[in-house]
Amino acid sequence: MTSKDLSIFNSLRPFSVGFDDMFDQFESMLGNGGLSMQSNYPPYNIRKTDQDKYSIEIALAGFNKKDVEVEFEDNLLTVRTKQIDKSEDKNEDGEIIHKGISQRQFARSFTIADDVKVGGAELKDGLLTIACERILPDHKKKRLIEIK
C-alpha cells in the first residue's frame, strides 16, 4: 500500500470533479516533508484585505530592494535574496562590530491558485508586501441554469 492510497485527499476525490491537480499538489507538499523542511526565516503574514484581495507580508529588516528578488512562474511565487556582498560590512558609515540583524540567504515559496493574480511588490520600512487578487472569471460566477 502506498502513501497515495492512505492519503486523506483520496477520501475527498469521490465528492469532487476536476480537483486532481490540486490534490496532487497538496500530496507532494505534505507527502515528502516539504512543509516541515522549510525554514521559519524570514517571518511572514498572509493577510486577507478584502473579499478577493490578499497580501503577503515578509519581514526583511536589513534588506533593501537591490538585495531581494520576487519571481512568479507556474503558480509558484518565490521571494529570495540575491548574492549578498559581504564587503558592505565596512562602508562610509563605519565598520560593523556586531551584526545582530540577519542578512542570510533565503528563498521562500508560496503556491498561488490559478485564479489569483500577483499585482506587485513594495518594500517599505523593512516589510515586503506582495499584493494578490482573486480574479473570478465569468464562467465561475453564480448564475441560474435554465431547465428545458
- At the topology level, CATH places domain 42-85+102-143 in Immunoglobulin-like (2.60.40)
* CB distance 130 to 53 below 8 Å: no
- Domain ranges across the chain: 9-38, 42-85+102-143
Q: Please give the grid coordinates belonging to residue 26.
A: 497538496
55 or 7, which is more confident: 55
Q: Dihedral of CA 10/16/21/23: which sign?
A: negative
Query: Rounded to an integer, what distance in angstroms lies between the CA atom of residue 128 and that of residue 64?
Result: 9
Write the pLDDT tens digit of every residue in 68-78: 999 999 888 99
Inter-CA distances, 25 with 32, 94, 116, 127, Å: 11, 48, 16, 29
For the entire predicted model, the pTM comes to 0.67
Inter-CA distances, 63 with 39, 56, 75, 123, Å: 18, 17, 25, 9
* CB distance 88 to 103 below 8 Å: no
Q: Residue 29 has what pLDDT?
A: 63
Write the pLDDT tens digit of every residue in 56-95: 999 998 888 999 999 999 888 999 998 766 555 566 677 8
Q: Cβ neighbours of residue 66 under 8 Å, at least 6 residues apart?
A: 82
* CB distance 59 to 126 below 8 Å: yes
5 or 64, which is more confident: 64
